[in-house]
Amino acid sequence: AAAFAPPLVSNNVVSSSALSMSKVERNPNFTKLIGGYLFPEIGRRRNAYIEKNPEMASRIISLGIGDTTQPIPEHILSGLVSSASKLGTKEGYSGYGAEQGMAELRKKIADKLYGGIIKDSEVFVSDGAKCDIMRVQQVFGSRVVTAVQDPSYPVYVDTSVMMGQTGNINPETKQYDNIVYMPCTDENNFFPDIENLPRADIVYFCSPNNPTGAAATKEQLEKLVKVCKERGSILVFDAAYAPFIRSEGVPKSIFEIEGAREVAMECNSFSKYAGFTGVRLGWTVVPDELTFADGSKVRDDFNRVMTTAFNGASNIVQGGGLACLDDEGLAEIDTLIDYYLENAKLLKEAMESIGYAVYGGTDAPYVFVKLPEGKSSWDTFSEILEKAQVVTIPGAGFGPGGEGYLRLSAFAPRDTVIEACSRLKETLG
Ligand code: PLP
């Protein structure tokens, strides 16, 4: 049985007749991975549908993979353009930069986004949060036990498997052995009962959450930090959707929580802030106080990974990052986020109007729809694709805890969201 769904294309073996094979043993960790990575799998299903129904190709609307669709606004774009132009001049040319990022950008992130609660030397600029999650895994190695929210962004689980931290997948529970799954469903308000779950070394926690759209409150994050501290765990906080938080008092960074500096690091990204999903720019904050059991600093090992296996984010792109953090850039980001949050509101209202319980979508770009009892999320995904030509994501794709839910992404042009709302109402209403 597959973890997510039976893949359309086998992940495993190429037909042996045509090719001569090497004598290299396949990394056994990769044989444990079930199917392909979730988002390409969604793309394959969509393409298979189009191949069978070519006349429907132009009707397809994607509310699937959370990829931004709005163009990069003027001021931010000017930052990218001017730093590219500089490279064509003798005075402005630069080659390799610091592996940790430009000093000016590190400082601006610390000042403008964290209001000085972290130091610039603790900011590591990168090519994105997804890549940083793998780098975090490289720092912790294969002997740690990881905990993840269930459902969660699939990268935490898949990279844990690739690193060799896990056993095989259990075909019944659809969970990998040696990962602590922290159920987050409507039954517990999408916040895990962490005190009653087994201890893990590394706890991945994403807020606002992908896919549930839940943004953890201050009290919830205080509890998370407290439990991690008591258990000697390290918290890896994913804040990629932080600027979508509009509710008062909901923390945008784990470092707003007292004591977090001794237990947490934070991955973050310009992807959803500024339409940089293709541009690629992110950062990770590793506080000085975060240490391993031997007293050595996590920061130093993260720095070692960055300096050894990364050569710094593109200088062009970092110019775009600086522009994002100017007052004009921040205002442009706010406008972009307002746009996507309005989409989320429309999707939420549409589903509620036909009687569905809907979560998220207020402090996050994802709307998490509860399906009627017993309805499979992959079947619902297929039904909506076939009847309404709308691509969604089945909750089960984010882990077994997501079964019974459907994720709708608000990253889409407004007219297509409006059209999708009316088709969803027709198909599911
Ligand atoms: N973290 C979460 C929770 C995400 O949902 C995503 C992208 O969808 C990322 C990280 C990836 O960010 P980046 O584009 O910076 O690699």
Per-residue confidence at 167, pLDDT binned at 50, 70, 90?
very high
Helix (H, G, I), strand (E, B) or coil at 38: helix
265 lines ligand 1 (CB under 6 A): no
- Written as one letter, the residue type at 98 is A
Q: Where are the alpha helices (DSSP H) in 278-428?
A: 298-309, 315-324, 327-353, 377-388, 414-428
Per-residue confidence at 8, pLDDT binned at 50, 70, 90?
very low
Helix (H, G, I), strand (E, B) or coil at 358: strand
Q: What is the pLDDT of residues 192-215, one digit of tens each?
A: 999 999 999 999 999 999 999 999
Distance CA 406, CA 428 (A): 12
Per-residue confidence at 285, pLDDT binned at 50, 70, 90?
very high
137 lines ligand 1 (CB under 6 A): no
Interacting residues of 37 by C-beta distance below 8 A, sequence separation 6+: 154, 158
Residues 45, 8 contacting (CB under 8 angstroms): yes
For ligand 1, the distance from its centroid to the CA atom of residue 129, given in whole angstroms, is 5
For ligand 1, the distance from its centroid to the CA atom of residue 355, given in whole angstroms, is 31
- Per-residue pLDDT at 2: 38
- Per-residue pLDDT at 5: 52
- Per-residue pLDDT at 1: 31
Torsion of CA 41, 43, 46, 49, to 10 degrees: -70
159 lines ligand 1 (CB under 6 A): no
65 lines ligand 1 (CB under 6 A): no
Closest CA to 265 of 232, 231, 296, 302: 302
Say whether the ipTM exceeds 0.85: yes
**Domain architecture of the chain: domains with CATH:** 28-70+330-428 (3.90.1150.10), 74-326 (3.40.640.10)
Q: What percent of the chain has pLDDT over 70?
A: 95
Ligand 1 atom closest to the Cα of residue 272 is 14
- pTM here is 0.95
Q: Match 């297929």 to its residue by tokens.
A: 382
| Mean pLDDT, residues 259-275 | 96
Closest CA to 396 of 173, 194, 189, 200: 173
For ligand 1, the distance from its centroid to the CA atom of residue 127, given in whole angstroms, is 11
For ligand 1, the distance from its centroid to the CA atom of residue 240, given in whole angstroms, is 6
Q: What is the pLDDT of residues 79-111, one digit of tens each?
A: 999 999 999 999 999 999 999 999 999 999 999
Show the beta-strand stretches assigned E in 94-213: 123-126, 146-150, 169-170, 175-176, 179-183, 202-206
Statement: residue 67 has pLDDT above 80: yes
Per-residue confidence at 147, pLDDT binned at 50, 70, 90?
very high
- Per-residue pLDDT at 16: 55
Residue 134: CA count within 13 A, CB half-sphere: 11
| Mean pLDDT, residues 236-259 | 97
33 lines ligand 1 (CB under 6 A): no
Per-residue confidence at 65, pLDDT binned at 50, 70, 90?
confident
Distance CA 326, CA 214 (A): 29
Q: What is the pLDDT of residues 360-406, one digit of tens each?
A: 999 999 999 999 999 999 999 999 999 999 999 999 999 999 999 99
282 lines ligand 1 (CB under 6 A): yes
Closest CA to 272 of 364, 397, 368: 364
361 lines ligand 1 (CB under 6 A): no
Closest CA to 305 of 169, 117, 138: 138
Interacting residues of 83 by C-beta distance below 8 A, sequence separation 6+: 315, 316, 317, 318, 319, 320
Angle value at C-alpha 161, between 159 and 201, nearest 5 degrees: 80
Residues 205, 224 contacting (CB under 8 angstroms): yes
Q: Which of 156, 207, 210, 266 to mutate to test the pocket of ligand 1 (most atoms within 8 A of CB)?
A: 210
